[in-house]
Structure 1
Amino acid sequence: MAAGGGRQALALYKSLLRESQKFLAYNYREYALRRIRDGFKATRNVTEEATLQRELQHARESLEVIKRQVALGQLYRPPNLIIEKK
């Protein structure tokens, strides 16, 4: 992996995790966190530049989707589940 691509990937990974923590609904939050971790783990060993750029673009698009969903979720607060802290 190119050095610049690694830094970009790490920054995107952290941004995705940070933004996913903002989901109010426990199930959405945990699903997003699990998908982010699994997605980055699956593409950890990508060395081909074209594939790396495609994966980074997909992560950027996913970040925008998560931001929109979090904003929408703020409008309609779900009730807390039993497993969540009060």
Structure 2
Amino acid sequence: MTGPSRTQVLALYKQTLRNANGFNNYNFKHYFLRKARTQFRDLKDLKDPAAIEKAFSAAQRELGVLKRQSVISQMYTFDKQVVEPLDGKKTQR
């Protein structure tokens, strides 16, 4: 049994980040972005093919949940948080 390729893992990471950015709520969006970055960073040094396959499968399942929740989040509107710019653009510092 061969594990996922580097390309497959990177594609999964990009999909996870893209779906995390789909949340309208600032807190949810940044929570899921942090969670994805932390999980992939923590698992980058895995060497055991079985552990890699298990982590990849778990990440795929979590991506499915994230996609569904992201779509649900887009159905609702939320007031802007204090830390969010009102026009949707990032401010210059």
Equivalent residues of 2:22, 2:70 under 8 A apart: yes
Normalized per residue, the structure richer in helix is 1
Q: Which has the larger radius of gyration?
A: 2
Structure with the larger RCO, 1 or 2 (CA within 8 Å, 6+ apart): 1
Cα gap change, 1:74 to 1:43, in 2 (>3 Å): same
> 4+ residue runs of structure 1 moved beyond 4 angstroms?
none
SS in 1 for 2:74: helix
Which residue does the alignment assign to 2:59? 59
Q: Which runs of 5+ in 2 are unaligned?
A: 87-93
Count of aligned pairs between the two proteins: 85
Residue ranges of structure 1 left out of the alignment (5+ in a row): none
- The alignment's TM-score, normalised by the length of structure 1, stands at 0.90
1:3 Cα shift? 8.6
TM-score by length of 2: 0.84
Percent sequence identity is 31
